[in-house]
C-alpha cells in the first residue's frame, strides 16, 4: 500500500468519525434524527468505497468504486448543508466545516478518477 493510499484512507475515516461525533451533539429534533442517519451513512460510505477501490479486481471496478465514493461525498455535502441551515447558529460553523471537508474529498476523488 502506498503512503498516499493510507493517508486518504485515514482522512476518510477521520471524516466519517467527525461526522458521527458531530451528529451526537445536534438538538434532538425529528429532522436531525433523519438527517443524521443519512449523513452518517453517506460519510462512512466515502471511506468504505475508497478502501474497496484499492482492492479492485480491474481498472473498471476501481473507477466504479471511486465514482461511488465521490457520489457519497457529494451526498454528505447535501446533508451537512441541510443540517447547517436548519439548526441553531452554534451548529452551523461545524456543519459547514464538515461540508468543506466533504468537498475537498470529492475534489481529491475526482482527480483520482481523471488520472485512472
Q: Report the pLDDT value the prediction gives residue 116, as an integer from 0 to 100.
A: 84
Tens-digit pLDDT profile for residues 69-104: 999 999 999 999 999 999 999 999 999 999 999 999
Q: Any residues with CB less than 8 A from the CB of 9 and at least 6 apart, and which?
A: 47, 50, 51, 54
Domain boundaries, the chain: 3-115
pTM given for the model: 0.92
Q: Report the pLDDT value the prediction gives residue 2, as an integer from 0 to 100.
A: 44
Arch. (CATH architecture) of 3-115: Up-down Bundle (1.20)
Q: Is the dihedral of CA 86, 89, 90, 95 positive or negative?
A: positive
State the maximum Cα–Cα separation within the chain, in Å, rounded to a whole number.
46
Tens-digit pLDDT profile for residues 8-28: 999 999 999 999 999 999 999
Q: Report the pLDDT value the prediction gives residue 6, as an integer from 0 to 100.
A: 59
Tens-digit pLDDT profile for residues 24-46: 999 999 999 999 999 999 999 99
Give CA–CA dist 83/92, Å, rounded. Answer: 8
Average pLDDT over residues 54-70: 95
Residue 94, SS3 per DSSP: helix
Give CA–CA dist 116/110, Å, rounded. Answer: 10
Closest CA to 72 of 51, 96, 97: 51
Is 108's pLDDT higher than 80?
yes
Amino acid at each position: 500500500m502506498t503512503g498516499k493510499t493510507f493517508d486518504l484512507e485515514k482522512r476518510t475515516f477521520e471524516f466519517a468519525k467527525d461526522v458521527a461525533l458531530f451528529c451526537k451533539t445536534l438538538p434532538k429534533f425529528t429532522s436531525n434524527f433523519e438527517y443524521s442517519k443519512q449523513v452518517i451513512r453517506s460519510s462512512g460510505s466515502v471511506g468504505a468505497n475508497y478502501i474497496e477501490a484499492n482492492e479492485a479486481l480491474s481498472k473498471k471496478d476501481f473507477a466504479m468504486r471511486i465514482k461511488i465514493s465521490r457520489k457519497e461525498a457529494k451526498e454528505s455535502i447535501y446533508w451537512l448543508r441541510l443540517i447547517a441551515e436548519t439548526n441553531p447558529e452554534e451548529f452551523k460553523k461545524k456543519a459547514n466545516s464538515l461540508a468543506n471537508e466533504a468537498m475537498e474529498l470529492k475534489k481529491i476523488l475526482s482527480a483520482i478518477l481523471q488520472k485512472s
